[in-house]
Amino acid sequence: MDPILEMLIALESLDAQLDDFESEDYLKSISIGQNTDENAVTKQIGKLRELRQEIVNSLPVAVYKRYEKLRGKYKRGVAPVINGICSNCFMEFPSALVSRPVKNKSLETCPNCGIYVYWTK
Ligand SMILES: [Zn+2]
């Protein structure tokens, strides 16, 4: 897989985890819950942020900027193509693109919504 694509997927998963941690519902649930160690959560968030920064530092600036822009618009910057369909905008990819034997070897975007895509089956 393209190394930048790989980093984007990792970044996306970190951001999703951070969103969960920082969501109001989650913060409410830990203030009500008795068994959750708030410190552990703070630590975990710090760790995720550190990891995130490492990835951001390794990404080409233009790619990261576009990722952030996409996240502002769609709440995500990368989306899988599933059965030839963009999972962000549900556009069907041209069959010539779908049937290529080599995928995920370069950074691609959805021709319709512009999100970075990676191919599952
Ligand atoms: Zn799309």
Q: What is the pLDDT along the chain (121 residues), one digit of tens a residue?
A: 999 999 999 999 999 999 988 887 777 776 666 556 778 888 889 999 999 999 999 999 999 999 999 999 999 999 999 999 999 999 999 999 999 988 999 999 999 999 999 999 6
CA atoms within 13 Å, Cβ hemisphere of 19: 10
36 backbone dihedrals φ, ψ, rounded to 5°? -85, 130
Question: Residue 46 C-alpha to ligand 1 middle, in angstroms?
Answer: 32
In the block, tokens 């941690």 appear at 21
Question: Residue 32 C-alpha to ligand 1 middle, in angstroms?
Answer: 39
Question: Residue 58 C-alpha to ligand 1 middle, in angstroms?
Answer: 25
Nearest to 119 by CA among 75, 70, 78: 78
Question: Residue 25 C-alpha to ligand 1 middle, in angstroms?
Answer: 29
Q: Radius of gyration of the chain from Cα atoms?
A: 17
Q: Which amino acid is at 18?
A: L
In the block, tokens 């899988």 appear at 80
- pTM, whole model, 2 decimals? 0.86
Question: Residue 104 C-alpha to ligand 1 middle, in angstroms?
Answer: 16
